[in-house]
Structure 1
């Protein structure tokens, strides 16, 4: 999945899905430079995606890039029929506020459980 969008300043940006083991990510690039990412793991159930970390380079703050990442990651997860598990505070806040809209658009999410936190901790420790 790769999408061409524009940020709040009208600058073209690219959102792409980068698959890796154990951590995959949706990334955002400006002029070919990767400037942010939303990291996720495949959940304990094969139909889940656990989002646990989102960051954007501070030099690009205020341009709405984290929001673009989040919305594209959620839309792509819904298209794939995956349940989102929002461990990342950004994803959790968004779904707490807009969860009903996401469900109405065909998305699915559930609250994180202790097992999800353990999965994230193990994956992050194993990739260091």
Structure 2
């Protein structure tokens, strides 16, 4: 029986996302936009071929730890990130609410 490689999470700032790689393949990502000291997470996706391995949780945990290390705050527009934060109160101190203003800004901010 072969053992799966330990997943690696990295920030790909040029693409505004954190990617998770396992077995030398990009398995998924969580996308963000930065706004006034906030990192607004708006979409998380794991490829179906990697479903059921807990990779989304690993990805978001590492991304949020990175945000903390950068001194930024989290805005969880992405439903998966919002659900993750409900179960992980260690990020409450750096989480801002999703407001109509943030949603309007996100809608008006073009992807780079």
Q: What CA distance in whole angstroms lies between the structure 1 residues aligned with 2:39 and 2:71?
A: 10
1:50 alignment counterpart: 40
Q: Is 2:14 the counterpart of 1:28?
A: no
TM-score by length of 2: 0.87
Residue 28 of structure 2 corresponds to residue 39 of structure 1: no
Instruction: Tell me what 1:102 maps to.
Output: 91
Structure 1 CA distance for aligned equivalents of residues 54 and 69 of structure 2: 22
Alignment coverage as a number of residue pairs: 110
Instruction: Give the distance between the partners of 2:28 and 2:91, measured in 1 at CA.
Output: 23
What is the match of residue 79 of structure 2?
89
Q: Deviations over 1:71-96 (max 9, x none)?
A: 00110111111110000011111222
**Structure 1 unaligned residues grouped into runs of 5+:** 1-8
SS in 1 for 2:45: strand
Q: TM-score, normalised by structure 1?
A: 0.77
Residues 47-67 of structure 1 show CA distances to partners (whole Å, capped at 9, x for unaligned) of 110000000001100111100
Gaps in structure 2 of 5+ consecutive residues? none
SS at the partner of 1:63? coil
Give the C-alpha shift of residue 118 in structure 1.
Answer: 1.8
